């Protein structure tokens, strides 16, 4: 359990950096939309910030987690070798990792700025500050032992990112969400659109809420509820394939894995 | 019951792909980033390669007959290079050709921008090469140049100047050429009837604005200007261009950014034009053709869009009715960079890449 605190701390620090950084792009876009006299409302703010948290945030989280792994390993080495203050070294390491990630994204890979909030010097500085905060979180977390509760929460949180992302996209942009599920939204009748938005949003939002409640309360009943929902999705995926002739799809693998994942987590909590 | 209903919905939205009766043959060998072509006679065309080479190609054999000399120097990088070549509507008399390309501009801090030059094609050489337009849209990397051109029915030249990717917001401001359609006379002067010619805060060459990366531009027999442009993730669109209008980018769009971030949640606003058709997810349209040939009479009057991301060609009827879109040539499994109608009505596809090919579609 002791060693688990490192990957958990890296993931959490990357998540905190992501939470600090994604709104830079969202807010810069919102400010421009306001300046262009677009009817920006509270709903617009929520829509953009929540969608960016998941849609921009997930790829960033992966990039940052990889960058932080390297940066923290190097920082640890320097701390041991030169007896440097760990708190600030981890912050600095994470800030440098973000700066490097942004720089390499532009100069080595895309030749342009894939992250809109990074197009100005001020925006870049905010990104680096976000990285520094992530580094401080890492320092705090590695100085605490990893408890079973922390590990369960961490493991339960990973699928939540994907489900939360889907839920938010279905709430704020059902047209986009439906296209990734094979629907041509425009061609549906009004009733069809209504059904699609209502039922599928309810599914993803419901499962996401179960996940959050499980993560917060550590009550296994929430994890079993998720397992039942995803187990049913898996069964009816097979029904669709074998009884109604639809094509095989990779979603069935995802459904059974998530069902088993939360069953195991629920049983693990129940044993204590 | 619900599953059955869901299944029925899925069945009903399947796009119908009708196999047409056609033959695909390769014309010539390999070409290096073939980007555009222009027929200079019944059996010869000029082929512009993004690398900066302009070739005279025999239409019958596909052989390169000559390398055109005195082509302007281009910056070949990213999406930049020698992008479009068109001939004058009176080419037989004037031998005039127009080329759009990316190059560095000493007047704009030596940054890269879109250039348009005209020249006389004499033999296999360009003579009297003259830059007639430089976009006031300097950028570090040649991205989103647009760079398509068409001669309008009144003899003026319409040029697509893309948003430069990193400068998307500038598409809404009239003091630059990012995300603008530009209309000039063939000598580079500004037509007096351009829509913003009397606006002292606007560049006089601007014809329309609020565009992203325009990759398709054509004029039909009625003089209607058809344009298509790339969205990022979603938001590829077909428009009819009118002078002075705002086409909305990036304030309205049926899209999100490549990164997944929202660019705008808005899809419409008064004073901003709606597309006639849009794609979500993107197909990444490249070339644009309005078919009028005799080889495929059933396709006459239809729009054809070559596409990069979907690796096919889309045939779209101009009434944009439901089920008006047909997917063609997907069996090539290639990014299609451009599409042209040859003088004999056959269709030419330019397949993308440093190992690009030209495919001829015939009955």
In this prediction the ipTM stands at: 0.88
Question: Do the chains contact at B261 and A176, CB–CB below 8 Å?
Answer: no
Question: Do the chains contact at B13 and A187, CB–CB below 8 Å?
Answer: yes
Residue B122 reports pLDDT greater than 70? yes
Distance from CA of A100 to the nearest CA of B (A): 18
Residues 6+ apart with CB under 8 A from B307: B283, B284, B285, B286, B313, B314, B335, B336
Predicted pLDDT at B15:
37
Q: CA A20 to CA A25: how far, in whole Å?
A: 10
- Find tokens 């300046």 and name the residue: A35
Q: What is the pLDDT of residues B152-198, one digit of tens each?
A: 999 999 999 999 999 999 999 999 999 999 999 999 999 999 999 99
Listed in order, the ranges of chain B carrying CATH 2.120.10.30 are 32-282
Chain B's closest residue to A246, CA to CA, is B7
Predicted pLDDT at B327:
96
Interface residue B323 vs chain A (CB under 8 A): no
Question: Do the chains contact at B262 and A188, CB–CB below 8 Å?
Answer: no
Instruction: For residue A246, give the 3-state DSSP assignment.
Output: coil
Longest dimension (CA), chain B: 73
Mean pLDDT of all residues in B265-277: 96
Predicted pLDDT at B18:
45
Q: What is the pLDDT of residues B296-342, one digit of tens each?
A: 999 999 999 999 999 999 999 999 887 789 999 999 999 999 999 99
Q: CA B114 to CA A153: how far, in whole Å?
A: 54
| Least confident interval from A29-43, B11-25, B65-79, B269-283 | B11-25
Predicted pLDDT at B6:
43
Interface residue B110 vs chain A (CB under 8 A): no
Is residue A134 a contact partner of residue A244, using CB atoms and an 8 Å limit? no
Q: pTM score, two decimals?
A: 0.85
Predicted pLDDT at A172:
87
Could you tell me the pLDDT band of residue B17, with boundaries at 50, 70 and 90? very low
Interface residue B165 vs chain A (CB under 8 A): yes
Is residue B351 a contact partner of residue B337, using CB atoms and an 8 Å limit? yes
Query: Which among B166, B259, B322 is the nearest to A59, CB-wise?
Result: B259
Is residue B103 a contact partner of residue B93, using CB atoms and an 8 Å limit? no
**Which neighbouring-strand residues pair with B340?**
B348
Predicted pLDDT at B272:
98
**Phi-psi category of A182—alpha, beta or left, where left has phi over 0 and alpha has psi -120 to 50?**
left
DSSP B275: P
Is residue A15 a contact partner of residue A137, using CB atoms and an 8 Å limit? no
Distance from CA of B28 to the nearest CA of A (A): 33
A interface test, pick of B140, B141, B167, B260 with most A CB neighbours within 10 Å: B260
Which of A158, A63, A160 is closest to A114 using CA atoms?
A: A63
**Which neighbouring-strand residues pair with B356?**
B31
Longest dimension (CA), chain A: 68
Say how many CB pairs under 8 Å bridge A and B.
101
Mean per-residue pLDDT over chain B, rounded: 93
3-state SS record for B17-50: CCCCCCEEEEEEEEECCEEEEEEEECCEEEEEEC
Pick the catalytic residue: B144, B211, B228, B230?
B144
Q: CA B162 to CA B210: how far, in whole Å?
A: 10
| Least confident interval from B9-23, B178-192, B278-292 | B9-23
Question: Do the chains contact at A22 and B261, CB–CB below 8 Å?
Answer: yes
Tokens standing for residue B47: 């082929």
Residue B172: φ, ψ to 5°: -90, -5
Question: Do the chains contact at B251 and A179, CB–CB below 8 Å?
Answer: no
Chain A's closest residue to B2, CA to CA, is A195
Distance from CA of B152 to the nearest CA of A (A): 32
Helices (H) then strands (E): counts for chain B: 2, 24
Domain B32-282 homologous superfamily, CATH: TolB, C-terminal domain (2.120.10.30)
Residue B3 reports pLDDT greater than 80? no
The verdict on whether B228 is a catalytic residue reads no
Which of A30, A57, A60 is closest to A42 using CA atoms?
A: A30
Positions of chain A with pLDDT lower than 50, given as ranges = none
- Find tokens 């049926």 and name the residue: B254
Is residue B337 a contact partner of residue B286, using CB atoms and an 8 Å limit? yes
DSSP A185: G
Question: Do the chains contact at B257 and A116, CB–CB below 8 Å?
Answer: yes
Q: What is the pLDDT of residues B242-256, one digit of tens each?
A: 999 999 999 999 999
Size of chain B in residues: 363
Predicted pLDDT at A10:
96
Question: Do the chains contact at A52 and B260, CB–CB below 8 Å?
Answer: yes
Predicted pLDDT at A2:
65
Predicted pLDDT at B7:
41
Burial (0-12, 13-18, 19+ Cβ within 10 Å), A242: exposed
Burial (0-12, 13-18, 19+ Cβ within 10 Å), B44: middle
Preceding peptide of B301 cis, ω within 30°: no
């Amino acid at each position: 359990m002791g060693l688990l605190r490192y990957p958990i701390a890296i993931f959490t620090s990357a998540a905190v950096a992501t939470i600090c950084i994604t709104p830079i792009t969202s807010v810069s876009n919102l400010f421009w939309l306001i300046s262009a006299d677009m009817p920006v409302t509270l709903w617009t703010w929520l829509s953009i910030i929540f969608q960016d948290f998941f849609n921009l945030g997930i790829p960033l989280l992966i990039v940052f987690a990889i960058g932080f792994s390297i940066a923290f390993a190097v920082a640890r080495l320097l701390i041991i070798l030169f007896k440097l203050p760990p708190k600030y070294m981890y912050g600095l390491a994470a800030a440098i990792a973000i700066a490097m990630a942004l720089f390499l994204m532009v100069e080595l890979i895309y030749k342009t700025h894939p992250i809109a909030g990074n197009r100005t010097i001020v925006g870049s500085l905010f990104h680096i500050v976000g990285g520094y905060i992530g580094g401080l979180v890492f320092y705090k977390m590695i100085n605490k032992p990893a408890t079973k509760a922390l590990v369960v929460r961490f493991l339960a949180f990973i699928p939540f990112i994907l489900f939360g992302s889907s839920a938010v996209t279905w709430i704020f942009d059902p047209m986009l969400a439906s296209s990734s599920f094979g629907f041509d939204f425009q061609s549906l009748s009004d009733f069809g659109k209504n059904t699609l938005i209502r039922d599928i949003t309810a599914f993803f939002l419901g499962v996401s809420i179960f996940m959050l409640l499980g993560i917060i309360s550590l009550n296994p009943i929430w994890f079993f509820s998720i397992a039942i929902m995803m187990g049913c999705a898996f069964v009816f995926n097979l029904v669709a394939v074998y009884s109604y002739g639809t094509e095989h799809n990779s979603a069935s693998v995802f459904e059974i894995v998530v069902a088993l994942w939360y069953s195991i987590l629920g049983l693990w909590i129940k044993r204590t | 019951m619900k599953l059955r209903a869901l299944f029925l919905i899925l069945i009903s939205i399947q796009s119908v792909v009708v196999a047409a009766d056609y033959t695909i043959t390769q014309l010539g060998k390999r070409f290096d980033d073939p980007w555009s072509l222009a027929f200079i006679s019944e059996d010869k065309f000029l082929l512009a390669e993004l690398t900066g080479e302009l070739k005279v190609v025999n239409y019958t054999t596909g052989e390169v007959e000559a390398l055109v000399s005195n082509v302007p120097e281009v910056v070949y990088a990213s999406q930049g290079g020698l992008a479009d070549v068109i001939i004058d509507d009176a080419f037989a008399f004037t031998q005039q050709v127009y080329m759009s390309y990316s190059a560095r501009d000493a007047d704009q801090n030596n940054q890269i921008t879109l250039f348009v030059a005209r020249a006389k094609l004499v033999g296999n050489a360009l003579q009297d090469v003259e830059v007639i337009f430089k976009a006031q849209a300097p950028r570090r990397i040649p991205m989103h140049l647009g760079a398509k051109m068409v001669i309008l029915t009144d003899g003026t030249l319409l040029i697509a100047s893309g948003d430069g990717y990193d400068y998307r917001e500038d598409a809404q401001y009239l003091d630059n050429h990012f995300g603008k359609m530009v209309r000039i006379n063939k000598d580079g002067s500004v037509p007096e009837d351009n829509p913003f010619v009397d606006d002292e805060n606007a560049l006089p060459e601007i014809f329309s604005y609020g565009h992203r990366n325009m990759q398709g531009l054509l004029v039909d027999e009625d003089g209607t200007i058809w344009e298509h442009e790339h969205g990022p993730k979603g938001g590829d669109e077909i428009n009819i261009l009118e002078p002075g209008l705002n086409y909305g980018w990036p304030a309205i769009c049926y899209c999100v950014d490549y990164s997944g971030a929202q660019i705008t949640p808005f899809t419409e606003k008064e004073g901003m034009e709606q597309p006639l058709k849009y794609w979500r997810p993107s197909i990444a349209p490249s070339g644009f053709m309005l078919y009028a040939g005799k080889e495929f009479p059933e396709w006459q009057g239809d729009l054809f869009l070559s596409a990069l991301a979907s690796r096919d060609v889309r045939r779209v009827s101009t009434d944009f009715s439901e089920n008006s879109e047909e997917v063609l040539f997907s069996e090539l499994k290639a990014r299609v960079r451009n599409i042209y109608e040859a003088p004999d009505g056959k269709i030419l596809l330019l397949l993308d890449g440093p190992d690009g090919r030209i495919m001829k579609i015939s009955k």
